[in-house]
Amino acid sequence: MTISNRAGSASQVPHQRRGWLDVEGSGGTGTSMPVPFADCFISPAARDAASRVLASGWVTTGAEVEAFEREFADHVGARHAVAVTSCTVGIELALRALRLPDHAPVLTSTNTFCGAVHAILHAGLQPVLVDVDPVTGMPTPQTTAEANSMLQRRGQPAAAAMVVVHWAGDPADVPLLAQAAGLPLERVVEDAAHAVGTFTPEGPVGGGAAAACFSFYATKNLPIGEGGMITTNDAELARHCHQSRLHGMSKDAWRRYQPGGSWRYDVVEPGLKANMSDVQAAIGRGQLANIRPWQRRRAEIADLYDRGLAGLPGIALPHRPPRGLGVHAWHLYAIRVQEDSGTDRDSLAAALAARSIGTSVHFIPLHHFTAGRSGAYGEPRPLPGADRFADEVLSLPLHAQLSDVHVATVIEAVHAATSAADPATAGRNI
């Protein structure tokens, strides 16, 4: 993956409004321009905020973290937010707060990052991998129910909880999946690492289940570099996560060192070292101020890709919710490269790389790893939908700093790399 980190602002990026094959330097004239897969753009406001905190004399968890928590909770419509060091540790803390029995089964998608299943293991629970729809890349009610039935056929307890993944920014139907698993929403944790900007019919992802866990990693829609957030409407869950993120201590240093504060504190139960710093929070607050225009730009880029790749044989466009049933956050623009494209996924990725266009695969299914095959992620079993999806999926460059020229370069390269490319279309406006 190529990640650039450039100065400037989103408004300085030239968004050319021309036909996708009619752009000088797009590749159609024999030249090519580098197109990074991701761009960890830190806004001027966020840089200024970080400098202000660095000069303040207090850089660890304090007032900036509290302000970021309030602002992010408001943004997603949740009552509470807890800032942590990563989405992964957020999932672990949220699961710990559910007070499940040791080694209780927890359902989750096999098409997710390995950190999500490690969070289940680190919480002392047992992951159960669920197959996915080879079109959406996410579990269905049928595959969810099948995974639960498999547990019962083996004489094991039914699933005690579930981690639902909003993959690529596409909203999962959390209530429907919970129903299929036989679980109340209070036993569901949402993996919202891709879901800053995702909406369900009920509103933004962030307050519909026991908890939702977001990522602020360098490639995400709200990039800080590292960091995460837990959101919830459950005051007791929020309290537990706040305390557990710093060793289980009853008071953090910010509260102990305030004028009139006491050095005394208690440790109610063992916790983690997972507290966000004020420097990270200040960056996050500055970035959050830009999230709406950045999300609009992501949607514009997805529309350009749709127009440029529609009808290209063997290239399936990303799934998105039907009108009125949610909003895709466009964290990823993930096509599927099928047999009638005249190529395969790996060959297309190599062809784009040869033209300095970054791509990625989301994800290697968990059951394909050595850990998955060995039983560390639950007893292995066939997951054919995920196998098919994993062979086809390819994420194209998508971030708010891409210009229309960048997008045109990618589209032309995809056409050129497939046997379906028609030279007669070169230079045609769409």
**Among positive and negative, which fits the CA dihedral 52, 56, 59, 62?**
negative
Rounded Cα distance between 336 and 394, Å, is: 6
My answer on whether 419 and 368 are in the same domain is yes
Average pLDDT over residues 267-272: 94
374 CB-side CA count, 13 A: 4
Average pLDDT of span 14-33 = 41
Instruction: Mark whether 106 and 236 lie in a shared domain.
Output: yes
Q: What is the mean pLDDT of residues 229-254?
A: 92
Per residue in 40-91, pLDDT (tens digit) is 999 999 999 999 999 999 999 999 999 999 999 999 999 999 999 999 999 9
Contacts made by residues 76-79, CB under 8 angstroms, sequence distance 24+: 76/204, 76/205, 76/206, 76/207, 76/212, 76/231, 77/203, 77/204, 77/206, 77/207, 78/206, 78/207, 78/212, 78/231, 78/232, 78/233, 79/207, 79/232, 79/233, 79/235, 79/238
Which residue would you say has higher pLDDT here, 29 or 369?
Answer: 369
Residue 168 has pLDDT above 70, yes or no: yes
CATH number at residue 103: 3.40.640.10
HSE value, Cβ hemisphere, 13 Å, CA-based, for 354: 10
Give one DSSP letter per residue of 344-398, joined into a string: -HHHHHHHHHHTTB--B-S---GGGSHHHHHTTTSS----HHHHHHHHHEEEEP-
Answer whether residue 267 shows pLDDT above 70: yes
d(CA 192, CA 302): 20
207 shares its domain with 313: no
Query: For residue 264, what pLDDT is reported?
Result: 87
pLDDT at 357: 98
Give pLDDT tens digits for 84-119.
Answer: 999 999 999 999 999 999 999 999 999 999 999 999
Coil, helix or strand for 296? helix
Q: How confident is the model at residue 185 (pLDDT cuts 50, 70, 90)?
A: very high
Cβ neighbours around 306 below 10 Å, total: 13
As for how many domains the chain has, the answer is: 2
Domain of residue 405: give its range.
Answer: 10-39+291-425
pLDDT band at 170 (very low <50, low <70, confident <90, very high): very high
Q: What is the pLDDT of residue 156?
A: 94
pLDDT of 255 reads: 63
**Residue 39, pLDDT above cutoff 90:** yes
Residue 97 and residue 240: Cα distance in Å, rounded?
6
Task: Flag whether 233 is in a domain.
Answer: yes
Region 127-139: what's the mean pLDDT? 98
Which residues are designated catalytic?
Answer: 220
Instruction: Report pLDDT for 92.
Output: 98
Q: What CATH number is associated with residue 373? A: 3.90.1150.10
Q: Which of 237, 263, 288 is the last residue of a domain?
A: 288
φ/ψ of residue 69, rounded to 5: -60, -45
Classify each residue of 146-155 as buried b or exposed e, where b means 16 or more C-beta atoms within 10 Å of its C-beta. ebbeebeeee
Q: Would the pLDDT of 16 be above 50? A: no
Burial 266-285 (b: 16+ CB within 10 A, else e): eeeeebbebbbbbbbbbbbb
pLDDT of residue 10: 39
Q: Indicate whether 166 and 86 sit together in one domain.
A: yes
- The band of 23, judged by pLDDT with boundaries at 50, 70 and 90, is very low
Distance (Å, rounded) from C-alpha 152 to C-alpha 38?
43
User: Does residue 5 form part of some domain?
Assistant: no
Vertex 76 angle, CA 71 and 81, to 5°: 55
| Mean pLDDT computed over 380-406 | 98
> Looking at the structure, do residues 123 and 181 belong to the same domain, yes or no?
yes
When the pLDDT of each residue in the chain is averaged and rounded to a whole number, the result is: 90
Tell me the angle at which helices 235-244 and 87-97 cross, rounded to the nearest 10 degrees: 120
Q: Which of 5-14, 56-65, 183-192 has the lowest mean pLDDT?
A: 5-14
Do residue 279 and residue 313 come from a single domain? Answer: no
Q: Answer whether 316's CB lies under 8 Å from 336's CB.
A: yes
Are 118 and 48 members of one domain? yes
The better pLDDT of the pair 34, 252 is held by 34
The reply to whether 349 and 403 lie within a common domain is yes
Residue 6 or 47, more confident: 47
Cα separation, 232 vs 159, in Å, equals: 21
Q: What is the pLDDT of residues 297-315, one digit of tens each?
A: 999 999 999 999 999 999 9
Is pLDDT larger for residue 77 or for residue 20? 77
- What is the mean pLDDT of the segment spanning 341-347? 96
